[in-house]
Amino acid sequence: MKSPLDYEDSAQRDGFPLRIRVSDGRHDAEAAVHVALVDRNDHAPHIHGATEHRIREDVPRGTIIGRYTTSDKDAGDTAR
């Protein structure tokens, strides 16, 4: 990302497409998702965690492949 997510930025208000690509070294798969922003924060949250995860192709469905924590400068109802 080049800048923090910000609902007040008119270029981001309608959300944006995100393309996800996975590979096992031999085969690739892609999926397209749409990221929608909700106006609940005045400050962008900070996400703490790995930026890349490698998983085997035979990992059972539902397996957790990463965990993240976040921090947010907002308080009260706007910190959701």
User: Per residue of the chain (80 residues), what is the pLDDT tens digit?
Assistant: 677 877 777 888 788 898 888 998 899 999 998 988 877 656 677 888 888 888 888 989 888 888 888 887 765 555 55
For residue 74, count CB atoms less than 10 angstroms from its CB and return exposed for 0-12, middle for 13-18, buried for 19 or more: middle
Q: Is residue 66 part of a domain?
A: yes
Distance of CA 69 to the CA centre of its chain: 12
Give the number of domains in the chain: 1
- Report yes or no: 30 and 20 within 8 Å, Cβ to Cβ: yes
The distance in angstroms from the start CA to the end CA of the chain is 22
Q: Is residue 10 part of a domain?
A: no
pLDDT of residue 29: 93
pLDDT of residue 5: 79
Q: Is residue 37 part of a domain?
A: yes
Q: Is residue 11 part of a domain?
A: no
Q: 71 phi and psi, to 5 degrees? A: -130, 155
Domain that holds residue 74: 16-79
Q: Is residue 4 part of a domain?
A: no
> Could you tell me which residues come within 8 angstroms of residue 57 by beta carbon, excluding any fewer than 6 positions away?
24
